[in-house]
């Protein structure tokens, strides 16, 4: 029988066929070794491998010419994203610009700041109503209609690319919205789709898991399972009730995501932010995070892209303790093979911890003992704030090593940034208080947490100066630490907390630090007498300095 892969590739000119074969050869082991470990024991594994090969070939054949040229450029320079010239900028499309095409009206602004990478916060079609800020995806094949269409996406990413800006989008891999077509099919009894999720007929097994699981949203979504009358089943729902955890033990789920990823890659996405990856594999008796299989899945997803769309890189979103974080840049057999970027959550936490305690002992200890330099084909995404809350991830061991009590220090940080601790400069809000563990997290913008809001209220010129100094020091830290600095929209202007979020119908208080862009203030960005002007020009200077410092290339240890 004729090999279907060969038949598909036969439609291509010879050199494009060769390229596919060469890339397959290069990444074959990186792809199939982990897949064999994950799924090799299951009946139907050979058919799965055939289907995967076919999908890779098909997407390569469909890949537009300009993106194939980009692939070639990045084959020649696979470490492009490690460059000291990289600067990331993160925003919600509506809050930054309006609709997708309106983003193009602000490219001058991005260029002025030095941005080479934009992260569109969740932009695929979410469920209606509450959607966890778009992280409850109903359709991975469509753009959120509030923002535009896939054609708009294609046009915008192409225009950005022409200006030297790569586009990053979220790919929510741990769960789908319960309204996703797979979930709907499961609901109507499709055995195939029931196996895409983690469902249980009675509560015994969920209860066993629950005894070691943590809770991500103890306030708004306690527990990790939800019972549905119509299904007669318990469904694994780590985050919110409407977000159903996928079953990555099922190779069909892997195949589906390869399809999704490569489709979006062929439309112009260049970076995938793989959401909540720590949770992808479950193991009884554990907290079901950071399991070794997660790194196998991430390696296989990346290898699939290196074969069919090698311009793509992956960023892992794993907000985990310092001891588990490094593995997301690849350690042991996964060295240089898992995510290209991972959020440096510890650097972020330690920045805030040091600011509050006026002491760098804990920061120095944590960064020295858990984060050796010298990654292969990978680096950190460094950041001060993002759209999420800050979890005070300080372990007992690390605190103890510098003479602190872990619980007491975490409580101090939560109090300090909630504005409760005497003498604090910060104005933030409490998030997800868990009375059982005492855990409390914090919301607030960079500027409000850094003291700008309070100083402006007090009319304190000294306070304003100090807050600006904190903000710029933070930017210097993320620009100089090693990795791609990821600026959160508005932080370059010192935007303050948005207390009006509830009135706009948002229940989740993380919206306090997701304000809409203040273009009136932005218009004064070069005015040295304005607060925003001082911050903007300061940040701009830091980023220019970064770009002029080749030592900051990720390959320099
Ligand atoms: C990630 C996102 C967060 C979301 C969660 C569930 O952590 O950053 O905003 O709530 O995943 O998708």
Burial class (CB in 10 A: 0-12, 13-18, 19+), 222: exposed
- Neighbour-count burial for 146-180, b at 16+ CB within 10 Å, e otherwise: ebbebebbbbbbeebbeeebbbbbbbbbbbbbbbb
Q: Is the pTM of this model over 0.95?
A: yes
Q: Which pLDDT score is estimated for 210?
A: 97
User: pLDDT below 70 — which residues of the chain?
Assistant: 1
* 130 ligand 1 Cβ < 6 A: no
* 133 ligand 1 Cβ < 6 A: yes
Q: Which atom of ligand 1 is nearest to the CA of 174?
A: 12
Q: Which pLDDT score is estimated for 507?
A: 87
275, 296, 398, 415: the catalytic one is: 275
Render pLDDT for 39-80 as a digit per residue (tens, 0 to 9).
Answer: 999 999 999 999 999 999 999 999 999 999 999 999 999 999
Q: Which pLDDT score is estimated for 84?
A: 98
Query: SS in 3 state form for 31-79?
Result: HHHHHHHHHCCCCCHHHHHHHHHHHHHHHHHHCCHHHHHHHHHHHHCCC
* 122 ligand 1 Cβ < 6 A: no
**What is the Cα–Cα distance from 427 to 416, expressed in whole angstroms?**
9
User: Could you confirm whether 259 is annotated as catalytic?
Assistant: no
Pocket test for ligand 1, best of 135, 221, 348, 393 (most atoms within 8 A of CB): 135
Q: Which pLDDT score is estimated for 293?
A: 98
Structure tokens at 388: 């999420």
Tell me the CA distances in angstroms from 487 to 220, 222, 387, 416, 536, one per residue in order.
28, 31, 11, 23, 12
What pairing do the DSSP bridges indicate for beta strands 243-245 and 175-177? antiparallel
Q: Which pLDDT score is estimated for 437?
A: 86
State in Å: Cα 392 to ligand 1 middle.
16
Tell me the CA distances in angstroms from 11 to 6, 72, 224, 485, one per residue in order.
9, 20, 48, 42
**What is the Cα–Cα distance from 416 to 422, expressed in whole angstroms?**
8
Residue that has been written with the tokens 């995404």 in this structure: 381
Q: Which pLDDT score is estimated for 1?
A: 53
DSSP state, residue 524:
T
Q: Which atom of ligand 1 is nearest to the CA of 135?
A: 12
State in Å: Cα 154 to ligand 1 middle.
25
84, 170, 245, 317: the catalytic one is: 317
Q: Which pLDDT score is estimated for 286?
A: 98
532 near 525, Cβ under 8 Å? yes
User: Could you confirm whether 210 is annotated as catalytic?
Assistant: no
Q: Which pLDDT score is estimated for 557?
A: 81
């Amino acid at each position: 029988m004729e090999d279907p892969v060969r038949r598909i590739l036969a439609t291509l000119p010879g050199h494009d066929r060769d390229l596919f074969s060469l890339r397959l050869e290069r990444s074959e082991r990186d792809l199939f070794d982990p897949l064999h470990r994950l799924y090799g024991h299951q009946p139907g594994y050979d058919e799965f491998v055939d289907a995967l090969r076919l999908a890779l070939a098909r997407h390569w054949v469909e890949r537009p010419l300009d993106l194939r040229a980009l692939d070639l450029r990045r084959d020649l320079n696979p470490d492009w994203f490690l460059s000291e010239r990289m600067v990331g900028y993160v925003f919600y499309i509506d809050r930054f610009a309006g609709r997708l095409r309106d983003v193009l009206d602000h490219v001058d602004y991005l260029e002025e700041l030095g941005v080479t990478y934009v992260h569109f916060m969740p932009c695929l079609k979410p469920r209606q109503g509450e959607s966890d800020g778009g992280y409850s995806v109903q359709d991975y094949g469509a753009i959120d209609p509030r923002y535009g269409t896939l054609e708009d996406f294609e046009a915008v990413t192409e225009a950005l690319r022409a200006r030297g800006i790569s586009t990053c989008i979220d790919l929510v891999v741990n769960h789908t919205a319960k309204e996703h077509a797979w979930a709907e099919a499961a609901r109507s009894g499709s055995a195939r789709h029931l196996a895409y999720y983690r469902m249980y007929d009675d509560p015994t097994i969920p209860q066993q898991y629950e005894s070691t699981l943590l809770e991500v949203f103890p306030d708004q979504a306690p527990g990790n399972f939800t019972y549905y009358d119509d299904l007669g089943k318990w469904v694994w729902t780590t985050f919110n009730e409407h977000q159903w955890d996928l079953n990555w033990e099922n190779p069909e789920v892997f195949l589906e995501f390869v399809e999704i990823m490569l489709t979006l890659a062929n439309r112009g996405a260049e970076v995938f932010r793989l959401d909540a990856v720590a949770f992808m594999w479950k193991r009884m008796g554990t907290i079901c995070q950071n399991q070794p299989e997660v790194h196998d899945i991430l390696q296989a997803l990346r290898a699939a892209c290196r074969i069919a769309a090698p311009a793509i890189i992956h960023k892992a979103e794993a907000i985990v303790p310092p001891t588990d974080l490094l593995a997301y840049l690849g350690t042991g057999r996964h060295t240089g093979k898992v995510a290209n970027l991972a959020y440096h959550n510890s650097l972020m936490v330690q920045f805030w911890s040091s600011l509050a305690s006026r002491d760098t002992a804990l920061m120095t200890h944590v960064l020295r003992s858990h984060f050796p330099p010298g990654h292969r084909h990978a680096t950190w995404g460094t950041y001060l704030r993002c759209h999420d809350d800050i979890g005070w991830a300080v372990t007992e061991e690390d605190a103890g090593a510098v003479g602190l009590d872990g619980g007491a220090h975490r409580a101090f940080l939560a109090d300090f940034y909630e504005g409760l601790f005497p003498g604090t400069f910060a104005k933030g809000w409490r998030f997800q208080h868990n009375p059982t563990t005492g855990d409390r997290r914090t919301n607030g913008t960079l500027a409000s947490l850094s003291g700008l809001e309070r100083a402006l209220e007090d009319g304190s010129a000294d306070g304003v100066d100090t807050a600006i100094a904190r903000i710029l020091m933070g930017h210097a830290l993320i620009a100089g630490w090693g990795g791609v600095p990821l600026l959160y929209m508005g932080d370059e202007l010192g935007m303050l907390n948005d207390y009006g979020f509830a009135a706009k119908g948002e229940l989740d208080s993380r919206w306090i630090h997701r304000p809409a862009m203040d273009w009136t203030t932005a218009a004064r960005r070069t005015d040295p007498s304005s607060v925003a002007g001082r911050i903007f020009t300061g940040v701009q200077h830091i980023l220019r300095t970064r770009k002029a410092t080749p030592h900051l290339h990720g390959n320099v240890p």
